[in-house]
Amino acid sequence: MAEKQSFAYDGKTINIVGVVRVVQISEKECVFRLDGQTLAVKGDGLNVVRLDKERGEVALETDKLSSVTYRGGATLKGLFS
């Protein structure tokens, strides 16, 4: 059964639910594995402010959000494309 997934951005903080694994974290890009897909968040000054592995929740702060990309199977979906 697939876990619930969500993405929310309020202009400063990004909240992600459904994270199975953290793949990469840097100030420019964060990559997370979700159930069946990968989520890549790109921006400036990315900083993890909360990580709850049991609940699969991550909160990031950013100075500037550049792109959000979901990759799963043979498809590529961008939030801003």
The tens place of each residue's pLDDT in the chain, 81 residues long, gives 456 899 999 999 999 999 999 999 999 999 999 988 999 999 999 999 999 999 999 999 999 999 999 988 545 556 554
Domain range 6-71, its CATH number among 3.40.50.300, 3.30.530.20, 3.40.50.150, 2.60.40.2000: 2.60.40.2000
Sketch the domain layout of the chain as residue ranges.
Answer: 6-71
Measured at the CA of 31, the angle between CA 8 and CA 3, to 5 degrees, comes to: 60
Please check whether residue 19 is in contact with residue 6, taking contact to mean a CB–CB distance below 8 angstroms.
no
Give which of 65, 25, 61 is closest to 43, Cα–Cα. Answer: 65
- Spatial neighbors of 53 by CB under 8 A, at least 6 apart, are none
Give the Cα separation of 60 and 10 in Å (integer). 11
